[in-house]
Amino acid sequence: MDFFDRFAIPHPSPIIYASMVAIGLTVIAIVAGLTYFKKWGYLWREWITTVDHKRIGIMYLLSALLMLFRGGVDALMMRAQTAVPENTLLEAQHYNEIFTTHGVVMIIFMAMAFIIALMNFVVPLQIGARDVAFPRLNNLSFWLYFMGAMLFNLSFVIGGSPSAGWTSYFPLAGNEFSESVGTNYYMLAIQISGIGTLMTGINFIATILKMRAPGMTLMKMPMFTWSALITNLIIVFAFPVLTVALAMGTMDRLFGSNFFTTSDGGMDMLWANLFWVWGHPEVYILILPAFGIYSEIIPTFARRNLYGYKSMVASMVLISLLSFFVWVHHFFTMGQGALVNSIFSISTMAIAVPTGIKIFNWLFTLWKGKIKITVPMLYSLGFLPIFTIGGVTGVMLGMSAADYQYHNTMFLVAHFHLVIIPGVVFAMIAGMTYWWPKMFGFMLNERIGKWTFWFIAGGTCLAFFPMFISGLDGQARRMYTYSEATGFGIWNMLSFIGALGLAAGFILIVYNVYYSTRYASRDIGDDPWDARSLEWATHNPVPEYNFAITPQVNSSEAFWDSKKNGHKLFKGPFKEIHMPNNSGMPFIMSILFFVLGFALVFSLWIVAIISLIGVFACLAHRSFEKDHGYHISVEEIEKTEAERGGAEHENR
């Protein structure tokens, strides 16, 4: 039995056992349901093996929502535990595990997946392309991300969750202080999904730079595409750093190397350094696509073109470079001298300048616009003030001398949640609502959507503003409890109420999806928002080839010009379209990666070696494979176009 002992949870509790049962029942229900309705073949052919960027985008979206709920439950439990002083709802270890998984799940598996979901769905449509540059690689990216996410979540029921914080600082994350396999899960799961993300980065840079519709020069790209380009540029140069850091951390834990140990010359601070060399650009990887989404939504509903297109682009390019120059501000208190801190303090404050430019550009776009308050617009309007408050407190934290007071307190927690929630989460919900009709052919209910917004925006403010106060009063982050005499109780109780408000908002989102799926009208046309960019110029639902004829572009708002100024988007007759084949190999390879990761977590060397050989066998198979895709004939295109298009499309 010794062999099986390692799979046990080190600190079990009734909550974990209940979750185990729930997970088991869900899996059985899904398997039984798929078998009963005979959907296995459909699932395999249409989704698992798909190379269609739209379907991959939707799979990312579903995974991101799933992870949002996992991370959200973690957050609720944290707020519940700290709602009153000396609470005994959770034990210290359990609390540590929860704040660790909350951070990792929300950043790596929720926010990243959400931005990649929207990029996948929208970018090829916005640039008038048929798919991404490497469709099969795109499928592999998704499955690597998904398997990484599943591996990470498995830690909850097999072997124990990581508990060294989402930053996993050594020596705490070393074998000596983190004895369970939890941190192995952290290292390997993030590694696997990080490889997928890196491939996404390469894929999208090639797509955006090389596959734009004729006439779409760089300076005529829609702003969301610009933000996706810059984001992927940062991904490509930041993720290798994480790869190396995680590999070194894994070796320290599994092979006894001495990178981050406290003996034999090891340097624990190097982990923090490398982590943030990746980690700070990561912040911009998350926020730039959000900026891109707002830059699409605000002009659409202010009925004006985006103010300051060139300065928007310039500020993003500047942010992409500067984001690599500021990472030390995450550990001002670690002991480097005043000179180093001053340098990074200044570069940190410099990055507020391009961000400020963007805020003013959005404000000027709204100025004298005919503003239409829709759900996506509501989130964009809510974003501006809340994000600005979160942002300026960031400048406070960026001053190295003052940082000694704020560092590692709830003030910091308030700051980064108040940038990341209005910045990323609002943008994702806004983007989801905005592009939902393109994805699924109906709109989400506006009334429920507005209620949702007020719950989420109000919940965010109530949950995080009190933390500024308790943080300045000295409440450290990551403390599982505190005494009554500290006086933190009232602030934490307010936070808890705010968290409940957020939870109610997220439940409303689910209800909205359910309600709209059942009752929303399917007769909404191709362009329900009266929008401006190319993704709205094709049918609803989007045909697999996106555009029957590649559009001709004349400006950054080509579709608007075609509607209002008589620009002709689609010229010429239908031609045969070449499409890539679906493939099951990426899925099989990702399963092998999953097994490899699991085997390494538990030091099952033979399994690890076999699955690694399997991975290489898949690569070899790919090298020898001949795959030339298939063609869609003109007759088929005519048929699809006639089915989906109304009178409007006949003259194309």
Partner 1 sequence: MKELFPRKQVMGFVFSLVLTAAALLVYFLDMSFAVGMTVLLVTAFIQAGLQFIVFMHAGETEDKGLIFTNIYYGLIIALVTVFGTLLAMVWGYV
Partner 2 sequence: MKTDNTMPLEYKTEQSRLNIFGFWIFLGAEIMLFGTLFASYFTLEGRTGSGPTGAEIFEITPVLVETFLLLTSSFTIGLGVHAMRIANKKAMLAFFSITLILGLGFLGFEIFEFIHYVHEGAGLQASAFTSILLTTLGTHGAHVTFGLFWGLFIILQVKKRGLTPETANKSFIFSLYWHFLDVVWIFIFSFIYLKGMM
Nearest residue (CB) to partner 2, 72 versus 580: 580
Residue 236, SS3 per DSSP: helix
- Candidate residues 158, 247, 493, 513; the one interacting with partner 2 per rule CB under 8 A: 247
Q: CA–CA separation, 510 vs 523, rounded Å?
A: 22
Kindly write out the interface string for residues 165-204 of this chain, putting x where it contacts partner 2 by CB under 8 A and - elsewhere.
---------------------------------x--xxx-
Burial 491-522 (b: 16+ CB within 10 A, else e): bbbbbbebbbbbbebbebbeebbeebeeebee
Phi, psi (degrees; rounded to nearest 5) at 580: -80, 155
- Scanning 14-22, 116-124, 327-335, 515-523 for contacts with partner 1 by CB under 8 A, the matching segment is 327-335
CB 501 within 8 A of CB 462: yes
- Candidate residues 69, 169, 325, 511; the one interacting with partner 1 per rule CB under 8 A: 325
Residue 237 interacting with partner 1 (CB under 8 A): yes
Number of other CB atoms surrounding residue 26 within 10 Å: 10
Q: CA–CA separation, 347 vs 182, rounded Å?
A: 36
- Scanning 82-90, 239-247, 303-311, 521-529 for contacts with partner 2 by CB under 8 A, the matching segment is 239-247
Kindly write out the interface string for residues 186-225 of this chain, putting x where it contacts partner 1 by CB under 8 A and - elsewhere.
-----------------------xx---------------
Q: CA–CA separation, 473 vs 409, rounded Å?
A: 9
Residue 240 interacting with partner 2 (CB under 8 A): yes
Kindly write out the interface string for residues 341-370 of this chain, putting x where it contacts partner 1 by CB under 8 A and - elsewhere.
--xx--------------------------
The DSSP-derived string for 628-644 is --EEE-HHHHHHHHHHH
When computed from its CA atoms, the radius of gyration of the chain, rounded to whole angstroms, is: 25
Q: Which residues in 559-578 contact partner 2 (CB under 8 A)?
A: 578
For helices 426-440 and 112-126, give the axis angle rounded to 10 degrees.
50
- Candidate residues 77, 154, 223, 233; the one interacting with partner 1 per rule CB under 8 A: 233
Q: Which does 255 bind (CB under 5 to 8 A by kind): partner 2, partner 1, none?
A: partner 2
Residue 581 interacting with partner 2 (CB under 8 A): no
Residue 370 interacting with partner 2 (CB under 8 A): no
Nearest residue (CB) to partner 2, 120 versus 203: 203
- Scanning 328-336, 504-512, 603-611, 619-627 for contacts with partner 2 by CB under 8 A, the matching segment is 619-627
Q: Which does 251 bind (CB under 5 to 8 A by kind): partner 1, partner 2, none?
A: partner 2
Q: Which of 239, 244, 159 is nearest to 193 (CA)?
A: 239
Residue 254 interacting with partner 1 (CB under 8 A): no
Residue 273 interacting with partner 1 (CB under 8 A): yes
Q: Which residues in 272-301 contact partner 2 (CB under 8 A)?
A: 273-274, 277
Q: Which helix (H) or strand (E) holds 309?
A: helix 309-322
Angle CA 324–327–333, to nearest 5 = 165
Q: Which two tokens stand for residue 249?
A: 């951390």
Q: Which residues contact 448 (CB under 8 A, 6 or more apart)?
A: 508, 511, 512, 515, 516
CB 533 within 8 A of CB 433: no
Q: CA–CA separation, 10 vs 22, rounded Å?
A: 20
- Candidate residues 265, 337, 566, 572; the one interacting with partner 1 per rule CB under 8 A: 337
Nearest residue (CB) to partner 2, 206 versus 402: 206
Q: Which two tokens stand for residue 329?
A: 């501000």
- Scanning 339-347, 408-416, 605-613, 630-638 for contacts with partner 1 by CB under 8 A, the matching segment is 339-347
- Candidate residues 154, 205, 418, 429; the one interacting with partner 2 per rule CB under 8 A: 205
Give Dmax (Cα) for the chain.
78
Distances in Å between the Cα of 6 and the Cα atoms of 16, 21, 599 are: 17, 20, 12
Q: CA–CA separation, 191 vs 195, rounded Å?
A: 6
Kindly write out the interface string for residues 621-650 of this chain, putting x where it contacts partner 2 by CB under 8 A and - elsewhere.
--xx-x------------------------
- Candidate residues 47, 324, 364, 602; the one interacting with partner 1 per rule CB under 8 A: 324
Q: CA–CA separation, 331 vs 312, rounded Å?
A: 30
Residue 336 interacting with partner 1 (CB under 8 A): yes
Residue 270 interacting with partner 1 (CB under 8 A): yes
- Scanning 324-332, 370-378, 528-536, 550-558 for contacts with partner 1 by CB under 8 A, the matching segment is 324-332
Q: CA–CA separation, 97 vs 160, rounded Å?
A: 9
Nearest residue (CB) to partner 1, 277 versus 419: 277
Q: Which helix (H) or strand (E) holds 578?
A: strand 577-579
The tokens 């729930």 sit on which residue?
22
Residue 241 interacting with partner 1 (CB under 8 A): yes
Distances in Å between the Cα of 231 and the Cα atoms of 63, 116, 424 are: 20, 10, 13
Residue 485 interacting with partner 1 (CB under 8 A): no
Q: Which does 230 bind (CB under 5 to 8 A by kind): partner 1, partner 2, none?
A: none
* Number of shown-chain residues binding partner 2 (CB under 8 A): 44
Phi, psi (degrees; rounded to nearest 5) at 251: -65, -40
Residues that bind partner 1 (CB under 8 A): 209-210, 233, 237, 241, 267, 269-270, 273-274, 277, 321, 324-325, 327-328, 335-337, 339-340, 343-344
Residues that bind partner 2 (CB under 8 A): 133-134, 198, 201-203, 205-206, 209-211, 236-241, 243-245, 247-248, 251, 255-259, 261, 263-267, 270, 273-274, 277, 578, 616, 620, 623-624, 626
